[in-house]
């Protein structure tokens, strides 16, 4: 290094060379830099990636379709929409459910978040956004576009908050027991029709070295599906719907206590699940079914695609929880989530057109055939490329295999279920399996949590 340069870096030398003018210059340069930055340099333009003459309006859509098949189908549908609206471009962002819950509300309240957000239904989820005025009511659009007539009533109920429609419900899903008929036949067993038969089936299968039902409840949510299956069966769809959505009823009744006991005590004692089900998460449990190591799996219609890929050539069926005491079988049904419009969106009309496009016949076919997602609207799938399991799942989701008013029920974690109630279910059902709580105690906890919201 040159001596004069070294001199410049010594404390004294440096001081000598810095004048007020130098500092003013430096400050000016910094100010200019921040000024330019504030003017937009370095920021993503709302039309980022666009070519000269590209569309003027970008619609920001956040959804939760993260699996490959669903993501591809969604991209196709969105592209189809933009191809029909030359002035529009969709900027799509995907998040899983947890991420969406964590950042969705912040993004919406910022005013620069998504125009359209695909968010979980219910008072504890989208209800929060509605209370904060972050999403706009859709009753006017429902009237204008005819959604009220097209969309299944149960789905509309899910997307309504205090009587007002806030979302375009999507993904008609049911919780169910998938069974591997090929394995069951090989084991010399038959698919159970009643709850007593299920208990016997479990005990026999266990003796023969099979895992009867792949189910684990280390995660917070699988026990909600399980409880939904038992509660719908014991209470009936109408009564449970009134309790979950209209707060008409109570959770600490003998029927609810019985539902809890039957699933989390009786089935466990009969050996229906792998040991230590509190230590196994949902995906690990389901993986046993996919690997051909379990005869049944407690899951939902969203799992159809994965099952078909993992078990080609095997005969797979779908049933609701076997009948308890001659009561009708009921599939817990609901919307996975719903599309909501940001109340701060500057492109409300375009966003409304986008929502209306999602259930056009051409889009519905892509949802069903390619995404394996069932929109809550009527459609005729004859002639479509669907597997046997897909058709069975479709039937279950559309009418429960019979009369939809009887055979399609509700998920206990939807409607007015708030965070405290959800937590009381997870912790309570884990405690029963661990032997630290009784069903009646948990039923009491559920009612207290329900009242506390």
- Catalog residues that contact another protein under the rule CB under 8 A: 11, 14-15, 18-23, 26, 101-102, 105-106, 108-109, 124, 128-129, 131-134, 218-220, 274-281, 284, 288, 419-420, 423, 426-428, 430-431, 433-434, 436-437
Crossing angle of helices 419-434 and 222-235, rounded to 10°: 90
Q: Taking the complex as a whole, how short is the minimal distance between the CB of residue 11 and another protein, in angstroms?
A: 7
Contacts 24+ apart (CB under 8 A), 284-288: 284/216, 285/214, 285/215, 285/216, 285/222, 286/214, 287/214, 288/211, 288/214
Report d(CA 70, CA 283) in Å as an integer.
18
Of the candidates 107, 166, 122, which has an alpha carbon nearest to the alpha carbon of residue 141?
166
Q: Taking the complex as a whole, how short is the minimal distance between the CB of residue 96 and another protein, in angstroms?
A: 14
Crossing angle of helices 348-357 and 68-84, rounded to 10°: 120
Whichever of 10 and 405 has its CB closer to another protein, that residue is: 10
Whichever of 254 and 292 has its CB closer to another protein, that residue is: 292
Whichever of 120 and 233 has its CB closer to another protein, that residue is: 120
Q: Taking the complex as a whole, how short is the minimal distance between the CB of residue 105 and another protein, in angstroms?
A: 4
Whichever of 277 and 363 has its CB closer to another protein, that residue is: 277
Q: Taking the complex as a whole, how short is the minimal distance between the CB of residue 210 and another protein, in angstroms?
A: 13
Q: Taking the complex as a whole, how short is the minimal distance between the CB of residue 317 and another protein, in angstroms?
A: 25
Helix %, strand %, coil % of the chain (to 5): 50, 15, 35
Q: Taking the complex as a whole, how short is the minimal distance between the CB of residue 203 and another protein, in angstroms?
A: 19
**Helix H or strand E encompassing 167:** strand 167-180
Report d(CA 238, CA 405) in Å as an integer.
8
Strand-strand pairing, 167-180 and 294-300: antiparallel
Instruction: DSSP letter for 223, please.
Output: H
Whichever of 28 and 388 has its CB closer to another protein, that residue is: 28
Whichever of 58 and 430 has its CB closer to another protein, that residue is: 430
Whichever of 133 and 254 has its CB closer to another protein, that residue is: 133
Compute how many other C-beta atoms are within 10 angstroms of the C-beta atom of residue 315.
14
Cα radius of gyration (the chain): 27
Q: Taking the complex as a whole, how short is the minimal distance between the CB of residue 132 and another protein, in angstroms?
A: 4
């Amino acid at each position: 290094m040159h001596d004069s340069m070294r001199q410049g870096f010594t404390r004294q030398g440096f001081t000598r060379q810095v004048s007020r003018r130098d500092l003013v210059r430096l400050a000016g340069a910094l100010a200019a830099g921040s000024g330019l930055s504030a003017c937009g340099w370095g920021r993503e333009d709302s039309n980022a990636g666009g070519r000269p003459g590209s569309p003027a309006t970008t619609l920001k859509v956040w959804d939760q379709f993260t699996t490959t098949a669903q993501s591809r189908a969604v991209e196709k549908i969105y592209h189809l929409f933009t191809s029909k609206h030359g002035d529009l471009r969709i900027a799509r962002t995907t998040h899983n459910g947890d991420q969406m819950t964590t950042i969705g509300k912040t993004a919406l309240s910022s005013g620069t978040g998504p125009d359209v957000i695909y968010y979980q239904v219910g008072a504890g989820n989208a209800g929060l956004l509605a209370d904060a005025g972050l999403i706009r009511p859709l009753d006017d659009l429902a009237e204008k576009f005819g959604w009220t007539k097209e969309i299944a009533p149960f789905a509309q109920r899910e997307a309504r908050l205090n009587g007002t429609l806030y979302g375009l419900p999507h993904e008609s899903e049911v919780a169910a027991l998938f069974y591997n008929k090929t394995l069951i036949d090989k084991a010399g067993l038959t698919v159970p029709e009643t709850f007593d038969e299920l208990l016997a089936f479990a005990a026999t299968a266990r003796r023969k070295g099979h895992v009867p039902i792949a189910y684990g409840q280390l995660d917070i949510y699988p026990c909600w599906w399980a409880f939904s299956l038992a509660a719908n069966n014991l209470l009936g769809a109408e009564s449970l719907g009134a309790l979950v959505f209209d707060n008409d009823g109570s959770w600490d009744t003998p029927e609810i206590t019985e539902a809890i006991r039957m699933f989390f005590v009786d089935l466990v004692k009969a050996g229906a699940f792998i040991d230590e089900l509190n230590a196994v998460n949902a995906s690990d449990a389901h993986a046993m079914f996919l690997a051909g190591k379990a005869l049944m799996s407690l899951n939902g219609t969203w799992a159809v695609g994965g099952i078909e890929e993992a078990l080609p050539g095997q005969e797979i069926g779908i049933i609701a929880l076997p009948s308890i005491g001659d009561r009708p079988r009921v599939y817990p049904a609901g919307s996975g989530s719903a599309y909501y419009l940001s109340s701060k969106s500057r492109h409300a009309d375009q966003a409304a057109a986008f929502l209306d496009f999602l259930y056009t016949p051409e889009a519905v076919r892509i949802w069903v055939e390619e995404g394996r997602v069932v929109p809550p609207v009527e459609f005729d799938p004859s002639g479509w490329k669907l597997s046997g399991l897909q058709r069975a799942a479709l039937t279950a989701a559309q009418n429960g295999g019979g009369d939809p008013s009887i055979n399609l029920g509700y998920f206990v974690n939807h409607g007015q279920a708030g965070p405290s109630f959800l937590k009381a279910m997870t912790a309570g059902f884990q405690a029963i399996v661990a032997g630290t709580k009784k069903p009646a105690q948990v039923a009491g906890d559920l009612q207290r949590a329900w009242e506390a919201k």
